[in-house]
């Protein structure tokens, strides 16, 4: 699946209320560095949990916090790597 297909699937998961499915896509290594997939997963996860206590509990038990913190830390480390940071801007080295 390419990122467009994954984003479509994540939206389908939002419609069905599947918190675990969204978290699964956010942690699949193939999509860990895909900004569009990660943004879609975080948006949908926020939508699913904002007004639903049970979804918040499920997300917490399934590692949502660790997934979000892990993505943030990985992104921060990548930006701070020698040769990656440029004054006033960030670039991604692949």
* Strands 85-86 and 89-90, sheet pairing: antiparallel
Number of domains comprising the chain = 1
Residue 53 is encoded by which pair of tokens?
């206590």
Query: For residue 21, is pLDDT > 60?
Result: yes
Which domain range does residue 71 map to? 3-90
In angstroms, what CA-CA distances link 7 with 32, 52, 87?
A: 13, 22, 32
Percent of the chain scored above 70 by pLDDT? 70
CB 23 within 8 A of CB 48: no
R_g of the chain, CA atoms, integer Å = 15
Q: Do 72 and 57 touch, CB atoms closer than 8 A?
A: no
Long-range contacts of the stretch 51-55 (C-beta < 8 A, 24+): 52/17, 55/17, 55/19
Residue-wise pLDDT tens digits, 47-56:
998 889 998 8
Does residue 41 register a pLDDT over 80? yes
Rounded mean pLDDT, 23-34: 83
Stretch 64-88: mean pLDDT: 60
């Amino acid at each position: 699946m390419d990122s467009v297909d994954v984003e479509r699937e994540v939206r389908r998961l939002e419609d069905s209320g599947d918190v675990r499915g969204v978290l699964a896509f956010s942690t699949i290594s193939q999509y860990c560095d895909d900004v569009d997939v990660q943004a879609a997963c975080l948006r949908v996860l926020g939508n699913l949990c904002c007004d639903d206590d049970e979804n918040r509990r499920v997300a917490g038990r399934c590692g949502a916090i660790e997934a979000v913190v892990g993505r943030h830390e990985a992104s921060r480390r990548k930006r701070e790597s020698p040769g990656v940071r440029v004054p006033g801007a960030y670039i991604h080295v692949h």
